[in-house]
Amino acid sequence: MTLIAVVLYRNSAIEEVVVAAEGHNVALARSLSNTLWSDFGPYVTTVEEEDGDRLRNRSETAELNRLVNELTRGLPVLKIKIFRIDGLTVYSSQADQIGEWKDNAGFRRAAEDGFAASKHSYRHTFSAFSGEMQNRDLVESYIPIKGPDGRVEAVMEIYSDVTLAMARVTNNTISYLGGLFLISLALYFLLYVIVRRADRILNRQYIELDKARTNLQAKNGLLEHEIQQRRRAEAALQDARQDLEVRVEERTQELRREVTERRQALTALRNAKDDAEAANQSKSEFLANMSHEIRTPLNGIIGMAGMLRDSNLSEDDHHYAEVIRHSGESLLAIINDILDFSKIEAGRLQLETVDFDLPTLLDGVVQILTPEAHGKGLALPVFLDPEVPARLCGDEARLRQILLNLIANAIKFTRTGGVATQITLLDDITADNSVVLKFEVVDTGIGIATQAQNRIFEQFTQVDSSASRRHGGAGLGLAICKRLVGAMGGEIGVVSQLGEGSHFWFTLPLGRQDDAGSQVGWLEDLQGACAGLKVLVVDDNPVNRRAFEDQLTVLGCETSVLPDAHSALETLKAAAESAAPFSVAIIDHIMPETDGVALSKMIRTVPALADLKLVIASAAGLRNTGKAAREMGFDLALSKPLRPNSLIKCLRALLADAPATEGTLGNPEADPRSRASIRVLLAEDNPVNQRVMIALLAKSGVRVDVAGNGVEAIEAVRSRPYDLILMDIQMPELDGVQAARRIRELEGEMGHIPIIAVTAHAMKGDREKYLQAGMNDYLPKPINRAELLSKIDYWADRQRGEPTAGNRQRAAPSKAEPDAEDGGAKKKRGNRARSSKRKSGAS
């Protein structure tokens, strides 16, 4: 090991000497090339002479020799050669070597790779500048000489004398070897001492081990005694094991008897389960049949009552017809609640996930409940927080059902004031692109006693169950809401005090559509434009004032609210005089003492208020609103109850300085399109339902033909072209499902006529069954006139390839609706718009 260390040390030292000498040689080569190359570079690179004698006799050689001697004087340089790139020695300080050829590894590395290469050698004799030298250590370096373009033009070989450096290396090696020898001696002596001490320690340990052996022998006798005792114990354990095996065998027999008994019990339970499922199936079939049998006469009652109400009746007769219609719809709501609750109790409630627009859903709910709220003089505003996304995914139909139930309940138990609905964002879950929303319905009604709040969500429960109660109902609405909210992953609750109104709330997790932004789209474009806009709201209803103030503040408006015309006029004058006038005034139509029209006339008489934009907020169902608004002195008309979309459209028109929009408020059927060109085939076997449908369609201008069963319907389709077929399901000879399938098998345009199922079957799965049979849409009985006409307009336009009319509301196709052109082969994503009004019987 010592010799290896010495050799490694020497080789490392020699390598350092070579590296240092190479560095000096490279520096010298650069100095020589800088000095000589401008004059002799072309000679070296272009000389074609290859004879040594001729090269030695050239003047360039003599001049090079003189300059090299001058530049290397005093340096440890023994010889310098310059080679052409192909290896010819063009110059050498040892003249007899001129003309020789060089080809070794060092030369090739310098010439081809462009890197310097050096090696150490020992020469006994060597020809140098000063003559023959003896016993010299040399470093021989090949150094590339590169031109301006970086290419190697020649190679210079320099021999440096490193004899003194190598002598120092040898002396250092000898010293290093001596030091290692002394260290080895010291280590040997230390090892000898350690071995001697270890030997003494081992001797002591041997003596101790001998003593331990003696002790172990003594303990061995004790262990033999213990072994005997353990053997006796094992014998006892063996006896106990045998006894245990006997007991286990006895217990096994008992368990076998128990298993046999349990199997018999399980068989009995399975039989009971099968019986229960059969009974449940019978119950479902009974409910379906009862639903059909009850809805069929209800369709006649509600339809004929509606026709009577719209005819020329006296005031008393009109009231009687309205009572009949209202009673029929209340009965229908109770039937729907019972059916929903029975499905929930049977565990057959199925949720669906569809894309829907939340503002549109809220508008539809408010539109359904507006007549009832306005009939009682109640405000019905809706506030949608700007953080809530507009485009969501979830069970739209169940959400609409919950909102309709809660808001209808609030209207029923509220005499004055209003019912406000608010939706806010609780949580935005980015990981799965979903949100948690909180829905709140706040009323100014009679309130709920604290002791009754714990049981109002139970089925068949009324806050006031006495015979003298003012409000009826089956007590199922809130129970259904609780079950639906729970099934959708949310929570529901109520905060209320008797005489101070109620605050119902529920939370729901909903998905965010893939293309939905983080903000509500219909607010973003106005928040900047409305910033700082001064708006005055005049309304005697505090619920309306609060709703206007909240929504305008969200839009960035500077909002003031006042309850009467007198204070409003004074405030407007004062603002105009202070050089900070209001830009917009939203005025309620009907107010005590001074109504909105009178206030607008008073405002128009004040010159300082000439630029003020006036908006009339009316719940009276103004028709031709643009013209009516201008005639009353207003710029625009706004329908109540207040909805986000309507307020946004109004402000957008004001900011754009656009004329008042012509249209209809309140009644969606006030300006219907002529339907005289639409021909409909009605397939219905019930004479009462035939009369109801014919009356509804004829009053709306639709031409209708009647078929009494499925066979007659198919013959009618073959004999005459129709824009649409209204198909009853339960008919003699050939039912509606079979008739629809046969119509879809017809060739040409006959096989592609849109078919709407019109049926009293309203159980879960009925709609899907009809759509799979080739029908395009579904309409439950009793018939809602607005929904019927909306669907007729939609499918008639599609059948003819016409654009839908802009002033008439459309019914969206049902979920999973087959395209009208392929008779059911193509499925579309969506959700059927449900516009039938429901009167909740909860609480």
From 35, 22, 244, select the one nearest 139 (Cα to Cα).
Answer: 22
Peptide bond into 782 cis (omega under 30): yes
* For the chain, percent of residues with pLDDT exceeding 90: 13
Q: Rounded to whole angstroms, what are the CA distances from 544 to 26, 447, 547, 554?
A: 96, 20, 5, 16
User: How far apart are alpha carbons 28 and 21 in whole angstroms?
Assistant: 10
User: How far apart are alpha carbons 812 and 833 in whole angstroms?
Assistant: 5
How does 409-441 read in b/e, with b if 16+ C-beta sit within 10 Å? bbbbbbeebbbbbbbbbeeeeeeeebbebbbbb
pLDDT in tens, 76-110: 888 888 888 888 888 888 878 888 888 888 888 88
Strand 703-707, strand 434-443: pairing: unpaired
pLDDT at residue 671 tops 70:
no
Determine the distance from the C-alpha atom of residue 79 to the mean position of all C-alpha atoms in its chain, rounded to a whole number. 82
The whole-number pLDDT of residue 528 equals 61
* For the chain, percent of residues with pLDDT exceeding 70: 79
| DSSP structure string for 322-356 | HHHHHHHHHHHHHHHHHHHHHHHHTT------EEE
From 277, 285, 26, 265, select the one nearest 141 (Cα to Cα).
Answer: 26
The whole-number pLDDT of residue 388 equals 86
Amino acid at 365: V
Give 488's Cβ-side CA count (13 Å radius): 30
The whole-number pLDDT of residue 278 equals 77
- What does the pLDDT average to over 249-269? 90
pLDDT in tens, 718-733: 988 899 999 988 888 8
Tokens 């919950």 -> residue: 402
The whole-number pLDDT of residue 630 equals 78
pLDDT in tens, 770-806: 888 889 988 887 777 778 888 888 888 787 765 544 3
pLDDT at residue 123 tops 90:
no
Q: Taking all residues of the chain, what is their mean pLDDT, rounded to a whole number?
A: 78
From 333, 445, 440, select the one nearest 381 (Cα to Cα).
Answer: 440
Q: Which of 197-201, 304-308, 735-739, 740-744 has the lowest mean pLDDT?
A: 304-308
The whole-number pLDDT of residue 507 equals 95
Q: Are 72 and 80 in contact (CB under 8 A)?
A: yes
Q: Are 705 and 684 in contact (CB under 8 A)?
A: no
User: How far apart are alpha carbons 343 and 325 in whole angstroms?
Assistant: 27
- What does the pLDDT average to over 699-726? 90
The whole-number pLDDT of residue 337 equals 64
Tokens 């719809």 -> residue: 329
The whole-number pLDDT of residue 831 equals 33
Q: How is residue 650 written in tokens? A: 């109004």
User: How far apart are alpha carbons 767 and 144 in whole angstroms?
Assistant: 93
The whole-number pLDDT of residue 285 equals 65
Task: Give the pLDDT band of residue 625 (cuts 50, 70, 90).
Answer: low
Which H or E element spans position 40?
helix 2-46
pLDDT at residue 352 tops 90:
no
In this structure, the dihedral spanned by the alpha carbons of residues 46, 48, 54 and 60, taken in order and rounded to 10 degrees, is -10
- Other CB atoms within a 10 A radius of the CB of residue 607 amount to 7
Q: How is residue 414 written in tokens? A: 């509220």
pLDDT in tens, 487-498: 889 999 999 888
Q: Which of 186-200, 380-394, 602-616, 789-803 has the lowest mean pLDDT?
A: 789-803
Q: Rounded to whole angstroms, what are the CA distances from 678 to 535, 673, 705, 722, 794?
A: 47, 11, 11, 8, 11
pLDDT at residue 820 tops 60:
no
The whole-number pLDDT of residue 323 equals 63
The whole-number pLDDT of residue 750 equals 84
User: How far apart are alpha carbons 469 and 452 in whole angstroms?
Assistant: 15
- Which has more confidence, 135 or 541? 541
Q: How is residue 508 written in tokens? A: 């729901």
User: How far apart are alpha carbons 120 and 106 in whole angstroms?
Assistant: 12
Task: Give the pLDDT band of residue 814 (cuts 50, 70, 90).
Answer: very low
pLDDT at residue 838 tops 50:
no
Q: Are 356 and 510 in contact (CB under 8 A)?
A: no
pLDDT in tens, 545-575: 888 888 888 777 889 999 999 999 999 999 8
Q: Rounded to whole angstroms, what are the CA distances from 448 to 417, 419, 497?
A: 17, 15, 6
The whole-number pLDDT of residue 805 equals 40
Best-predicted range by mean pLDDT among 11-25, 273-287, 343-357, 496-510? 496-510
Task: Give the pLDDT band of residue 367 (cuts 50, 70, 90).
Answer: confident
- Which has more confidence, 739 or 166? 739
CA angle 147, 151, 156 (to 5 degrees): 70
Please give the model's pTM, rounded to 2 decimal places.
0.47
Taking each helix axis from N to C end, the angle separating 163-310 and 2-46, rounded to the nearest 10 degrees, works out to: 90
- Other CB atoms within a 10 A radius of the CB of residue 17 amount to 19
